[in-house]
């Protein structure tokens, strides 16, 4: 899920930024310090929204830099358990597929791609044995987040599944909906006839 977070922090502005207007110097430092920052609590910082408040600056002896307490907003992506996400298949390997979620990629293990025996072909395609459904690089898919790990904070892992109703390649979802409406139409007519 994407959020706008309000943060209060002390920002160090080095002397080589003293020639800039204070707000611009602070914004540059916030961008340098926070863009791409990853934490379990905050998520993945996508961008700095803007600076809302800047308090009086202080120069600490021996450092030479100015420190300003500032309030600013960050745009963050924080994946959540059971969240449904839409993305594009970025890569396919023999053990699964990688779904690009914008700020990060999620991994769909081959066993979680579809309710079928799945085989991997050399042209980076996953194919279902019974259904003949195929998954290729560039396909748009809907998946559910089933695992999140921040064990390696610089490379968080997102585990996904597409083995639930309403999930999978967007074309598969559309096909399933059409089949469902075709099957339910005769049942609807029977109910109406009984009235």
Alpha-carbon gap, residue 97 to 118, rounded angstroms:
12
177-191 pLDDT tens trace = 888 887 665 555 555
Closest to 77 in 3D by CA, of 49, 43, 102? 43
Strand locations in the chain (E): 2-13, 38-39, 43-59, 66-77, 84-93, 96-100, 105-109, 118-121, 125-128, 134-136, 140-149, 157-161, 168-169
Within-domain flag for 94: yes
- For residue 56, how many other CB atoms are within 10 A of its CB? 7
What is the four-CA torsion angle of 104, 110, 111, 115, rounded to 10 degrees?
A: 100
Quick check: 23 pLDDT over 90?
A: yes
Pair 89, 156 in one domain: yes
The 3-state secondary structure of 22-38 reads HHHHHHHHHHHHHCCCE
> Is 67 buried (19+), middle (13-18) or exposed (0-12) by CB count in 10 A?
middle
Which tokens is 46 given? Answer: 């996508």
Taking only the tens place, the pLDDT of each residue in 137-157 is: 999 999 999 999 989 888 899
pLDDT tens digits, 43-56: 999 999 999 999 99
Q: Do residues 88 and 173 both lie within one domain?
A: yes
The reply to whether 186 falls in a domain is no
Q: Assign residue 22 the CATH number of its domain.
A: 3.30.1490.120
Q: What is the pLDDT of residues 31-83, one digit of tens each?
A: 999 988 998 888 999 999 999 999 999 988 888 899 999 999 999 999 999 99
Q: Which domain holds residue 15?
A: 2-77
Q: In whole angstroms, what separates CA 64 from the centre of its chain?
A: 40
Q: Is residue 184 part of a domain?
A: no
Pair 109, 62 in one domain = no
Within a domain: residue 192?
Answer: no
Of the residues 42, 58, 77, which one is the last residue of a structural domain? 77
Kindly compute the dihedral angle of the four CA atoms of residues 38, 42, 47, 53, in this order, to the nearest 10 degrees: -130
Predicted model pTM = 0.78
- Distance between CA atoms of 47 and 76, rounded to whole angstroms? 7
The count of domains in the chain is 2
Q: Decide if 149 is inside a domain.
A: yes
Separation CA 69–CA 48 (nearest Å): 16
- Residue 142 to residue 161: CA distance in whole angstroms: 9
């Amino acid at each position: 899920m994407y959020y706008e977070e309000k943060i209060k922090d002390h920002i160090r502005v080095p002397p080589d930024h003293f020639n800039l207007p204070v707000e611009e110097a602070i914004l540059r430092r916030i961008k340098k310090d926070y863009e791409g920052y990853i934490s379990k609590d905050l998520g993945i910082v996508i961008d700095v929204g803007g600076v809302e408040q800047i308090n009086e600056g202080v120069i600490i002896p021996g450092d030479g830099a100015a420190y300003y307490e500032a309030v600013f907003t960050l745009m963050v992506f924080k994946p959540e358990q059971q969240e449904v996400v839409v993305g594009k298949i970025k890569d396919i390997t023999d053990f699964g597929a990688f779904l690009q979620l914008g700020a990060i990629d999620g991994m769909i293990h081959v066993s979680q791609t579809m309710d079928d025996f799945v085989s991997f072909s050399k042209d980076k395609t996953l194919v279902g044995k019974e259904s003949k459904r195929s998954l290729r690089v560039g396909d748009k898919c809907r998946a559910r987040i089933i695992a999140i790990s921040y064990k390696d904070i610089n490379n968080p892992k997102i585990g996904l599944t597409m083995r639930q109703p309403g999930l999978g390649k967007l074309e598969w979802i559309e096909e399933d909906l059409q089949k469902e409406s075709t099957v339910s139409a005769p049942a609807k007519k029977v109910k109406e006839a009984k009235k």
